Amino acid sequence: MPDGTLLQRLLAEDAGRLLDDWTREQIASTSLRRDLISETELRQQSADFLAALREAVARGSLESVAGPEWAPVRDLLSSVSRSRALQGFSPSDTARFVFSLKAPLFARLREHAPPERLGDETWTVSSLLDQLGLFITESFQKSREEVIARQQQELMELSTPVVKIWEGVVAVPLIGTLDSARTQVVMENLLGRIVENGASVAIIDITGVPTVDTLVAQHLIKTVAAARLMGAECIISGIRPQIAQTIVHLGVVLENVTTKASLADAILVALRATGYTVARVAPRS
């Protein structure tokens, strides 16, 4: 069984030229997105990887890359895949970072390995690189998922601001589809701000809600009921013609809720309810 001494020797003695060949190989590859990464950065990543690989081969087994001695290599691959996920590389581009090392490495094996051991050596190196390739793909996937999760979180926080319109009047402009989780956040935010501002009227504007189904309507009714329990009246505004039709066709009953077509109408009603009046002081120009 090959013990990796040949691979170790190759990586140690021929490091400079191997790096040159490998970098050239990667750049020559037609699929490399030259617009996303500079040659210097690529060369730096490659050099770091070769150095880490040399260390790991010298210290650990070639059977599995899960051991502690492979930790630096794994960390390096994770950081490479993370940066590539952010730069917008495709998964195969990222995996090719490892797989493109095969060509220059196999060429050297053919030169240096004794013919009777060439097959074994090639197999060892190949399976090692395959494992590393799978690892980088997996961590690429993971970093993409992290990006998605973070965006979802940001969306959740961004999309539910409660704004103070006037003394005693708050409004929440809803944007995007309402699901149970979002309704919960909206409800908590709105009720919290009602207490904070001592608001007696809350406006829920659904201009940015693309569709209203029975579930969304149910969520809206719940929010209105909760606000009412705390002593604030709710006005739902921004109901588009199609939405109004859908609500009626679905048989949703909104009879205890004040509804207005536009936010402006709702603000007017809210101001009147809190004892203000809106008047034009200068003639229309």
Partner 1 sequence: MERIPILKMGRFLLVTIQVDMHDRLALQLQDDLTERIVKDGARGVLIDISSLEIVDSFIGRVLGNIAAMSRVLDAETVVTGMQPAVAITLVELGLSLPGVRTALNVERGMELLQASLDREELATLEHDADPQG
Q: The tokens 């190759």 sit on which residue?
A: 10
205 backbone dihedrals φ, ψ, rounded to 5°: -100, 120
Q: How far is the CB of 221 from partner 1 (least distance, A)?
A: 9
Q: Are 275 and 242 in contact (CB under 8 A)?
A: no
Which of 194, 271 has the CB closer to partner 1?
194
For residues 171 and 203, give the distance between their C-alpha atoms in angstroms, rounded to a whole number. Answer: 4
- Amino acid identity of 156? M
Which of 85, 224 has the CB closer to partner 1?
224
3-state secondary structure of 203: strand
Pairing state between β 169-175 and 258-259: unpaired
Q: How far is the CB of 225 from partner 1 (least distance, A)?
A: 4
Which of 39, 196 has the CB closer to partner 1?
196
Which of 137, 189 has the CB closer to partner 1?
189
Which of 81, 200 has the CB closer to partner 1?
200
The closest of 213, 212, 172, 203 to 271, measured between CA atoms, is 203
- DSSP assignments along 58-85, one per residue: HHS-SS-S-SGGGHHHHHHHHHHHHHHH
Which of 108, 193 has the CB closer to partner 1?
193
Residues lying near partner 1 in the complex (CB under 8 A): 187-188, 191-192, 194-195, 198-200, 222, 225-232
For residues 21 and 100, give the distance between their C-alpha atoms in angstroms, rounded to a whole number. Answer: 10
Q: How far is the CB of 167 from partner 1 (least distance, A)?
A: 13
The strand pairing partners of 259, in sequence order, are 236
Q: How far is the CB of 162 from partner 1 (least distance, A)?
A: 12
Q: How far is the CB of 239 from partner 1 (least distance, A)?
A: 21
For residues 32 and 175, give the distance between their C-alpha atoms in angstroms, rounded to a whole number. Answer: 39
Q: How far is the CB of 184 from partner 1 (least distance, A)?
A: 8
